[in-house]
Amino acid sequence: MKKLSLSSVKTLLFALTIALFFSACRKGSPSAPEDAVNGAGKNQMSHISALDLMSGNPILPVPTADPDILYANGKYYIYPTATGPNASQFHAYSSTDLLSWTDEGIILDLANVSWAHTDGWAPSVVARNGKFYFYYTAAKKVGVAVGTSPTGPFVDKGSALATGDGTDPIDPMVFIDDDGQAWMYWGNTTFNIQRLNSDMVSLTGTRGHNKPSNYFEAPYVLKRSGIYYLMYSINDFSSDDYHVEYATSTNPMGPWTYKGRITSPIGAIKGPGHHAVIRKPGCADEYFFVYHRRTSTNIHQRQVAIDRMFFDGAGNILPVSITTSGVINSPGTAACLVPNPVANGQYAIRSKVNTTAGGGLYLDIPGCSNNNADVRTWTKTTCNGQKWNITYQGNGYYKIISEQPSHKSLDLTSCGIDRGTDIGVFDALGNNCQLWRIEAAGGGWYRILARASNNVLDIENGSVTPGANVRSWSWNGADPQLWKFETP
């Protein structure tokens, strides 16, 4: 893969994504935009470098799909569907911070499995008893292999763990409940649920088939506040509208109450599905959503990506925003983020960038316009175009509404998810392009992220001149991306 640079702040990240990455198998500083590089060329054999201080999407250096994710020994590990001859070689990819991912090599080769040698799909990995258990599909049966580290090598138990009921018993997922009981969920069309013995390599008890509305494949279970969330993929993987929905229950075997949709295609990005979820270590409510998607018309060219997942105040999973910038660096040891660090109220939003004379620069509606308009920076005035009413929505995001009589909302122009998209004010619609996450960045300064793109408010070229354009950009921690909320 060749290293490409962005020659313009308006360069579309989609173009980079499509040019650099294809996926396959079944299942920079804002003051110097030319330095904002997708650094895949730095070590194309082992990892894809981060995009500024964000992961960028896709995140893995090879075409693959059906990822699971685990945190152990200070690293995140992603386990996708096998690559190599006839999808026979499973790899693991590791990262300390979710930015750059390193190929840890082959951790299980089906050539060494006695009962199946092809079609290695959709693994699920759990840690228990001082060991790591690698559940996977091969030859349309479910197997399990055991290792002493997250990267194996994993040794198969010597026979299939399960075939399940139905014609396509694939896609195992193992969930360990609070009481220590482990459960396995698997199956395409026919949904299988069964308890695992404490040895984690054999099943016990009655097999259940309670499935929610629309269930097709790729089950994934998590538990939050006593509620079991069963997520699953809808439609065949070849569909542009392959996506994730979910249902809930108070019992790990159901019955399940259908709740709604989590992912949807956007623009050139199709088929966002077959996912896994991880909660950031030590944090009560920070979730990352790992999944595959594609930008190619070739249905086998799929890419692994990562985005944030949020719950609303009622415990519903919010639809996941499918982005090109991905997530902000998040080492497992980093402090947890406060979901609503700024109190509701009216503020002037000041940049950390000052004029050459030392004066402050503020988020401003040009000419105090009462119409839809781009926003810029300007020195302090008494105009209502510098007064912003901020209201927390109870789901990790704020509305930011102008005090001008028309009460326009801070908005991503044309709902663009690519970095370089202009920031403006527009009629208040309350959609994802008008919802903003505010996160403390230290010293009383904050970054302001758009829900639709996960990019942050940024002063174009880091300009110190009043009137500079304000746009969205991937987070890099520079002063043009830091803001303070002051009394207007």
Instruction: Just list the catalytic residues.
Output: 66, 217
Distance CA 61, CA 48 (A): 6
List the Cα angle 346/362/420 in 5-degree steps.
110
CB contact at 8 A, 74 and 37: no
Nearest CA among 334, 342, 335, 348 for reference residue 377: 348
What is the side-by-side strand order in the sheet with 203-208?
Answer: 173-176, 182-186, 192-196, 203-208
Give the distance, in angstroms, between the CA of residue 256 and the centroid of all CA atoms in the same chain. 25
Distance CA 261, CA 105 (A): 35
Query: Two tokens at 124?
Result: 């699920």
405-436 CB burial, b ≥16 within 10 A, e <16:
eeebbbbbbebbbbbbbbbbbbebeeebbbbb
Distance CA 152, CA 165 (A): 30
Distance CA 427, CA 371 (A): 9
294-318 CB burial, b ≥16 within 10 A, e <16:
bbbeebebbbbbbbbbbbeeeeebb
Extract the runs of DSSP E, i.e. beta strands, from 84-152: 89-95, 102-109, 121-128, 131-138, 141-147
Task: Measure Cα distances from 296 to 15, 268, 323 in Å.
Answer: 12, 8, 16
- Alpha carbons within 13 angstroms on the beta-carbon side of residue 208 total 16
Amino acid at 306: I
Tokens 């060329």 found at: 41
Q: Looking at residue 479, what DSSP letter applies? A: G
What is the side-by-side strand order in the sheet with 303-309?
Answer: 270-279, 287-294, 303-309
DSSP string for residues in 410-462: EEEGGG--STTPBEEEE----SGGG-EEEEEEETTEEEEEETTT--EEEEGGG
H/E run at residue 19: helix 13-20
H/E run at residue 15: helix 13-20
